């Protein structure tokens, strides 16, 4: 089981979606933890952000690029 599959198997609450990027609350710590993002290629990223106000598709793309660097 991949890290993404393990995370999603805990049924986290989906907060938003931008294109193919999905944003979730942590499944057990909820809004006391930073927002997690699943990319279109099923990569799980801890964004370090706690508030959805900062998110748009450009930020999702930037976070994906940083994670792959």
Contact assessment for residue 67 and residue 37, using Cβ atoms and an 8 Å cutoff: no
Q: Is residue 9 part of a domain?
A: yes
Residue 68 pLDDT class (50, 70, 90 cuts):
confident
- Per residue in 18-64, pLDDT (tens digit) is 999 999 999 999 989 999 999 999 999 999 999 999 899 999 999 99
Token match 């999702």: residue? 60
Q: Is residue 65 part of a domain?
A: no
Bridge partners (DSSP) of residue 24 are 14, 36
Total of domains in the chain: 1
Q: Is residue 14 part of a domain?
A: yes
Host domain of residue 38: 3-60
Q: Is residue 30 part of a domain?
A: yes
Residue 56's pLDDT is 93
Q: Is residue 68 part of a domain?
A: no
Nearest to 36 by CA among 56, 9, 2, 63: 63
**Global confidence as pTM:** 0.92
Q: Is residue 13 part of a domain?
A: yes
52: which DSSP letter? G
């Amino acid at each position: 089981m991949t890290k993404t599959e393990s995370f999603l198997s805990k049924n986290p609450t989906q907060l938003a979606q931008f294109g193919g990027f999905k944003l979730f609350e942590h499944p057990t710590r909820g809004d006391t933890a930073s927002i997690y993002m699943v990319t279109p290629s099923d990569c799980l990223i801890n964004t370090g952000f706690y508030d959805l106000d900062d998110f748009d598709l450009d930020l999702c793309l930037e976070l994906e690029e940083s994670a792959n660097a």
